[in-house]
Every structure is written in C-alpha cells, then in structure tokens.
Copies of this chain bind each other. A is one copy, B any other.
Amino acid sequence: MTDKPAPKPDTRFRRLKEKGSRDFQLACSIVDEARIGHVGFADEGQPYVVPMAVARDQHQLLLHGSVASRLMQQLASGLPCCVTITHLDGLVLARSAFNSSMHYRSLMVFGRASPVTDPDEKARCLEVLTDHLLPGRREELRASTPQEINATQVLAIPLEVFTVKISEGPPDDPARDLGAGIWAGVVPLRTVAGEPIRDPELDSAIPLPDYLGEL
C-alpha cells in the first residue's frame, strides 16, 4: 500500500471496495502497460470522456496534443479531471449470467492537469511519451524541431490521488450452481501486434526494424 493520503473521490465506489487497492506500484504498472487512457472532465455539468495517449514520468501522468486543440486548452485551464486506464484481461464464464464477469485492471487518477511550459522540460516529456509509445523508435527519428515542440501542448497530472481496481480469479459460483453440467472458467484476453504494414511511400530497401518485434 502507498502511504499517500486516502483520496476523497474514491470513497464513492464503495461497492468495489473488495477490488480496491492504492498500491502505487500497481498503479504504475497499469500506466506503463497502457497506450491510451480515457480522460474525463465536465464543462457546465456536461461530462466529456476522451481517449488520449498516456505515459508516466515518475509520479505524474503525461498527456499531449495540439496547442490549438480546444480540448487541450480546457484541460490546461486546470479544471478537475479523471483519467481512467483499463486493461480488460479476460471473460469470466460462471454457471449463471448473474455471476459471469470480467477480469480487469483499472486505474482512476483524479487531479488537475498542468501545462509543461519550459521548452527543455516539454521536449523531455515528449521524449518520455515517444519512448513509452514506441520503444526503441526515438533513436532513429530526427530530432523534433522547436516549431513542433511549440505546436504541442504537454500536460502533467500528478499520480497521487488514485484508485486501483483489480478483478481476477476463477468464477465465483454459489455451491448450488457447481453441479451445472456446463463449462466454467476464464477466457484470457490480450492485445497483440499484427504484421506491420509498410508505408506505400517507403523505399523498398529499408528493412523492418528489430524494435517492432517487441511491440
């Protein structure tokens, strides 16, 4: 368990308490395995939930987007937001529909986004994002230009107030259902990379890089 103070918002999810944990390392592992999160905020009571690329830089989440994006401007204004990252790990087939469920690992981070304004720090954060989303790729890329960095908004959200929920294990059928003569268990789910598709503009002499085998 982390020694962070108990976050205020998560007490609302009392029914899921049995799946709760505030373990910081677990939260980090959920971010580090993710490519996107769902970013929620409200504008005059209307909620919006937007998928965005995510990465972790030590004790903060990083988001990025165009400086011209209204979404990025809204988030940068510091309104309360919630970033939720979910890995759907499996389908749990119990002997009844009622007890069937899913395996997942989910992280909800509550906070406010701050724009990263220092150009060097912004460039560093963008490198963290690139290294997370495309490991091994950055060494091959040309350096980002100052114009590109200026055109990009980077936002940081502290990984401090959060809730982790994990669902795992075999089906939890009541004893009276165990005799049902049907298969029960878990079907694991995972995300896999398929065969890379070359850009039609790509010189045919350029081979597939080794790091794509790690995706």
Contacts and interface: CB of A to CB of B under 8 A. Distances in A.
Interface string A98-113: 1010101010101000
Majority secondary structure of chain A interface residues (helix, strand, loop or mixed): mixed
A181 B191 CA distance: 29
Interface in A65-88: 65-66, 68-71, 74, 79-84, 86, 88
Contacts of A110: 46
Nearest to A180: B142
Q: Which 5 A-B pairs have the closest CB atoms?
A: A42-B42, A40-B49, A188-B194, A38-B38, A49-B84
Interface of A: 9, 12-15, 35-36, 38-43, 45-51, 53, 65-66, 68-71, 74, 79-84, 86, 88, 91, 93, 95-98, 100, 102, 104, 106, 108, 110, 126, 130, 133-134, 137-138, 140-142, 144-145, 148, 151-152, 170-171, 173, 177-178, 180-203, 206-209, 212, 215
